[in-house]
Structure 1
Amino acid sequence: MADKIDFKREIAAYRAPRGRFAIVDVPDLQYLMIDGQGDPNTGPAFAEATAALYPVAYQLKFASKRELARDYVVPPLEGLWWADDMESFTAARDKSRWHWTLMIMTPDWITPDMLTSEAVRLEKLSEGRCVQTLHVGSYDDEAPVLARMHAEFIPANALRMTGKHHEIYLSDARKVAPEKLRTILRQPVTN
């Protein structure tokens, strides 16, 4: 059997500089996805979606190892975030008005016929050119970083936002103190 693949090491878009913004080209990637709406801290839907994703991700990982002789590290949890009024996302932080898609990246050799869950879908995401940075700290402290990304860096580089705000959770919030959480903040852009 070949070595276990760690996509965080293999895919450059899973690395970001801390304290500055970088423009990156993200390849098309395949994800397990589940959609929801509402405050991730108080509403049950977010916890239920997370609980639904992980068993499917590990089931596919073990099926890949057993049936295809291809082993990999299950990548981190990720989320797409948006609101009908983006001010409620970046400035007001009214989490009750947020929409989200929770995701776990899945290798392209995993096919839809391997998926047995009806609650989770397998879908490609094409983000292309993006701006991203590594945020270290509480999720609630992201707003000033996002404001600088959206209102300063993106316009200063003759870019405009497209797509949905994307977060990659490099830390497990159940095991890491809020001030030490490591999260890649990503925004798809175009010229």
Structure 2
Amino acid sequence: MKVDLKKQITAYSAPRGEFAVVDVPPLQYLMVDGHGDPNTSPAYREAVTSIYPVAYTLKSASKRELDRDYTVTPLEALWWAEDMSAFTTARDKSSWNWTLLLLVPDWLGSDDVERARSAVARSRAPALDRIRLERLDEGRCVQTLHVGPYDDEGPALRAMHHDAIPALGLRMTGRHHEIYLSDARRTDPARLRTLLRQPVTDAEP
């Protein structure tokens, strides 16, 4: 039976128009780091076109060798900048840093990922050497569902950062996390569904 990881992990859903507090378990991901505007950066395009071949090769090996099949989850990314207003007000994408993520089930490890990397031709994955397996422990987070174009996320993020999180007696920690539940290649921008997540901790007294 094929496992759908995002359906098994309750933190992979959130209400629209509300800010929910969730506890995200430690999870492992394929990761690729980069910097710059995702719409124009060659590094971003290389990262996207590289992480998927490795992910699908890893999935195929798991099904073939371990008899454990699973669904490759939607693309995710961590985003940060020296000035976080680059996300909420100025939307200065040239200053953004990012880490692309694809979830990997816990029954696979670094040796499996290395074999998958070795099986993928460099011509298919120009950023192959930049891909790694790493565990992310976000813990308590505040999140919401944004429906619409990515460039319209600013008001929701401002409300999360400046209103919802302080009102809950929390403060931001860690990096802004987005989970792209829709395939942007096949979805009208007005219908894109994106999970916006921010790790938090207790506000200092």
TM-score normalised by the chain length of structure 1: 0.97
Provide the secondary structure at the position in 2 that maps to 1:76.
Answer: coil
Q: Map 1:95-174; keep pairs closer than 5 Å.
A: 95-116=93-114, 117=117, 118-174=129-185
Instruction: Give the aligned partner of residue 85 of structure 1.
Output: 83
Instruction: Give the aligned partner of residue 39 of structure 1.
Output: 37
Structure 2 residue 11 is the aligned partner of structure 1 residue 13:
yes
Counterpart residue type for residue 84 of structure 2 = M
Unaligned runs of 5+ in 2: 118-128
- The percentage of counterpart residues that share the same residue type is 66
- The alignment covers a number of residue pairs equal to 189
Counterpart residue type for residue 172 of structure 1 = D
Instruction: Give the aligned partner of residue 198 of structure 2.
Output: 187
Provide the secondary structure at the position in 1 that maps to 2:160.
Answer: helix
Aligned-partner Cα distance in 2 for 1:120–1:56: 9
Runs of 4 or more, structure 1, over 3 Å off, are none
Provide the secondary structure at the position in 1 that maps to 2:133.
Answer: strand
Aligned-partner Cα distance in 2 for 1:99–1:89: 11
Provide the secondary structure at the position in 1 that maps to 2:199.
Answer: strand
User: More deviation in 79-88 or 143-152?
Assistant: 79-88
Displacement of 1:45 after TM fit? 1.4
Provide the secondary structure at the position in 2 that maps to 1:115.
Answer: helix
Residues 137-191 of structure 1 show CA distances to partners (whole Å, capped at 9, x for unaligned) of 0000000000000000000000000000000000011110111100000000001
Displacement of 1:119 after TM fit? 2.6
Give the alignment's Cα RMSD to 1 decimal: 0.7
Displacement of 1:84 after TM fit? 1.0
Displacement of 1:8 after TM fit? 1.5
Residues 69-112 of structure 1 show CA distances to partners (whole Å, capped at 9, x for unaligned) of 11100011000000011112221110000000000000011111
Aligned-partner Cα distance in 1 for 2:53–2:13: 25
Unaligned runs of 5+ in 1: none
TM-score normalised by the chain length of structure 2: 0.91
Residue pair 1:52, 1:119 contacting (<8 A) in 2 also: no
